[in-house]
Amino acid sequence: MLDTNVKILLGVLGLLILLSNLVDFQWLASKLLFKSGNTVVTPENKEKNFLEIVTLWCQLKHKCEQYKLSVASDKLDEVFPLLSGALEDEKTA
């Protein structure tokens, strides 16, 4: 009786190990737990999100300059070199 229970337990354990290699449980759990509506990304949404990022970058850049955080301001220029060029064009215009 005890040998049969041990064999069944080891068989179940083996199946669980096999299934854990075949099924991506993290992906499955994320799909089951975090169901999101099918949001459609439109060009208007992309443009709005991009403009929001640019606006936030400009605000951060101005705050860094206001508080004389030159290293942080320089790093922002390194991360977003095209935005810093646009900001310089805006200042000269």
Number of domains in the chain: 2
Q: For residue 18, what pLDDT is reported? A: 82
Q: For residue 8, what pLDDT is reported? A: 92
pTM: 0.45
Going from the first residue of the chain to its last (93 residues), give the mean pLDDT of each consecutive group of 10, the final group possibly shorter: 86 85 74 67 77 87 91 86 64 57
**Do 59 and 87 sit in the same domain of this protein?**
yes
Most distant CA pair in the chain: distance in Å?
Answer: 89
**Do 73 and 56 sit in the same domain of this protein?**
yes
Q: For residue 87, what pLDDT is reported? A: 57
The residue range of the domain holding 30 is 1-35
**Do 52 and 92 sit in the same domain of this protein?**
yes
Q: For residue 55, what pLDDT is reported? A: 87
Element at 52 (helix H, strand E): helix 43-66
How much helix, strand and coil, in percent to the nearest 5, is found in the chain? 80, 0, 20
Q: For residue 38, what pLDDT is reported? A: 58
